[in-house]
Structure 1
């Protein structure tokens, strides 16, 4: 069945046919206010050489598709949110360049302009099947792989993903939609462990941050709290950090397992269409949990329960 919905039968067949090794994903946020550049290099194996499959992308357009060194016609290969991949080898590399659309529905890569200061804030929401709105991907949770993200963006932005944020490399200046001509930079993240695509994440913008750390075994795990600049006066960082640290200690004892990732960032995001999302190393929350006025203790407890739920 063609279309943007993946059926259970299609997912089962694809999982039987291929095993995905890695993604190298490049995202360019230095262009217009409506679209962004995206590219994926996907390495994967096929258990039945000569078979065909497809990867997923829901976006503005696909400029090029190269499979094992052979260029495919994107006009023919890309249809109904799918990119056809014919005549597979035992080991495959597909390189895809495309243009994605910023969303305003809390799906894929969401773009928000703060009415207070006109700053631009971006964040992703991929559950259940919307990583394909940011980059070409085999969009099903049982096809896990490593993900290495490279992001170009305004140099003054915070860039957050599943792995610790690297030092940016300056790229000069560029005309960025909604911001004018500004300095831009590139961030190249280390590969993640093997993950489902829907728990990867990208957060970008001039978010303000408060930092701390918590002990896990013999190491310190960095903690970060991010929010829009205009909300920082209301961010109750002490309470959120206290709840987070208590959760780390409780779950480590309960599961007899230390936190398995390198850092733990929590980002309060605007126009969020859910309560929160347990992205690896970059948990996103609805801004309703940043209280602008005194609230009943029950609301503070509700936020604490959400923090613990996402951490678990």
Structure 2
């Protein structure tokens, strides 16, 4: 199946604007497939041709503006839409979709402990087409109306508050504008711990067999969640942009967590089954803080194309560590970052496969996945931490808030981000030059310190291999308390 290229995405974004998806999922059709019926309302800015993506078990029917299209025209994962006229259009597709057991699309899991079944989505990058038909690229945001039919006794979670209409039917409130990869559903007989904070419903969810373990740690997790939520509201002028905040600990998750708006999914290994170290608790808290930062940077303002995925992750990585340090009992998180995460970035940056923090040549979605590494997370976060120190936190946050205000519920690029930071920075700070030096280059600089001691006079010389600007601090210590030199 072909992957989406940047050129194709740009061409499609110029041609169409997507207003709304109405998605109806039926999870009662058996253990292998579920039903997916989708209505997409979109507008063509001019006459032309395009395509939608879908990976069905069976595409039963599809219509465009009430006229049937041939389901056999589906080529791999692409259904051509030819002869579009300028103006509004409506696409309706009815399909059977396969459950996944590999963590992509709609994952289905049966708990061997008690036989209970759970399903949840992971739609990152290009897997929405495993669940419903879509124009699957991040810069075609739309409103989403979702209904789900689930077995009796199940609870359905989604990006927005859900309501049980009876007879297994659940309806989610209309979302704000979202990218397709951020749509989320989690359904099953969840064990839930619910509360409210600042007028919003908060929830923790896990499979029933883990209920005692979640209950034991629920207050700790909620305390971390509330503290980070409040601290982000002190930092950001844009309020939390969604109507609820659920955190679901899901089985067989093949990532650490995913920043779905209003419904963050975590691997359920974070529901600890036995005694763990305080460092492990700090790691879990860091992931909570990281994913919450994405609610603003990633979900409210979303990358235009996958070359900027580093910026999502580097920002959340930096902001997660910093906010956890400021708002919780975990005050030494940057020590953990230096010991564990930073080494990951150094290792990745000294391999033949290294790449800039902000790569310029991400031609398709397959290439984007290759850049999902220690450079995108750890080196990028290190660079942002350095940027904050250089700009000053006040100017950095001023730029961030300008960025949120300019691009909320829309898409932005690295250039937009740097322009926003420049708008908030002091006149003597050339943010564009900093970005060129630190984000568009590869490899490490090496600073080597040499100290000479002549007649009780010490001289420090620092040799640099590399071209990036550095600021260093010098500390002086007694090597021997009996030695009078300081």
TM-score calculated relative to the size of structure 1: 0.91
Find 1:146's aligned residue among 132, 143, 162: 143
Which residue of 1 is the match for residue 196 of structure 2? 213
SS of 1:238's equivalent? Answer: helix
SS of 1:154's equivalent? Answer: coil
Offset, 1:168: 2.4
Which residue of 2 is the match for residue 232 of structure 1? 211
Query: Could you say which structure has the higher helix fraction?
Result: 2
Is 2:88 aligned against 1:107? no
SS of 1:302's equivalent? Answer: helix
In structure 2, C-alpha distance between the alignment counterparts of 1:158 and 1:209, rounded to whole Å: 9
Higher relative contact order (CA closer than 8 Å, sequence separation 6+): 1
Go from structure 1 to structure 2 and tell me whether the alpha carbon gap of 1:4 and 1:156 turns closer, same or farther (over 3 Å shift): farther
Please give the per-residue CA displacement for 1:236-262, whole angstroms capped at 9, x wherever unaligned.
101110000001110000112221111
In structure 2, C-alpha distance between the alignment counterparts of 1:28 and 1:158, rounded to whole Å: 14
Is 2:53 aligned against 1:48? no
Matched ranges for 1:186-197 at <5 A: 186-197=169-180
SS of 2:112's equivalent? Answer: coil
Offset, 1:187: 1.2
Which residue of 2 is the match for residue 174 of structure 1? none
Which residue of 2 is the match for residue 305 of structure 1? 286
Offset, 1:26: 0.7
Is 2:239 aligned against 1:243? no
Which residue of 2 is the match for residue 253 of structure 1? 234
Q: Which has the larger radius of gyration?
A: 2
Go from structure 1 to structure 2 and tell me whether the alpha carbon gap of 1:161 and 1:4 turns closer, same or farther (over 3 Å shift): farther
Which residue of 2 is the match for residue 271 of structure 1? 252
Which residue of 2 is the match for residue 25 of structure 1? 23
Find 1:222's aligned residue among 182, 190, 201: 201
Extract structure 1 runs of 4+ deviating beyond 3 A: none
In structure 1, C-alpha distance between the alignment counterparts of 2:163 and 2:81, rounded to whole Å: 33
Q: Is there any run of 5+ residues in structure 1 with no aligned partner, and where?
A: 171-184
SS of 2:83's equivalent? Answer: coil
In structure 2, C-alpha distance between the alignment counterparts of 1:4 and 1:284, rounded to whole Å: 28
In structure 1, C-alpha distance between the alignment counterparts of 2:164 and 2:71, rounded to whole Å: 35
Is 2:131 aligned against 1:134? yes
Query: Could you say which structure has the higher strand fraction?
Result: 1
Which residue of 2 is the match for residue 201 of structure 1? 184
TM-score calculated relative to the size of structure 2: 0.59
In structure 2, C-alpha distance between the alignment counterparts of 1:93 and 1:302, rounded to whole Å: 46
In structure 1, C-alpha distance between the alignment counterparts of 2:219 and 2:23, rounded to whole Å: 35
Which residue of 2 is the match for residue 180 of structure 1? none
SS of 2:161's equivalent? Answer: coil
RMSD of aligned Cα (Å): 0.9
In structure 2, C-alpha distance between the alignment counterparts of 1:34 and 1:69, rounded to whole Å: 30
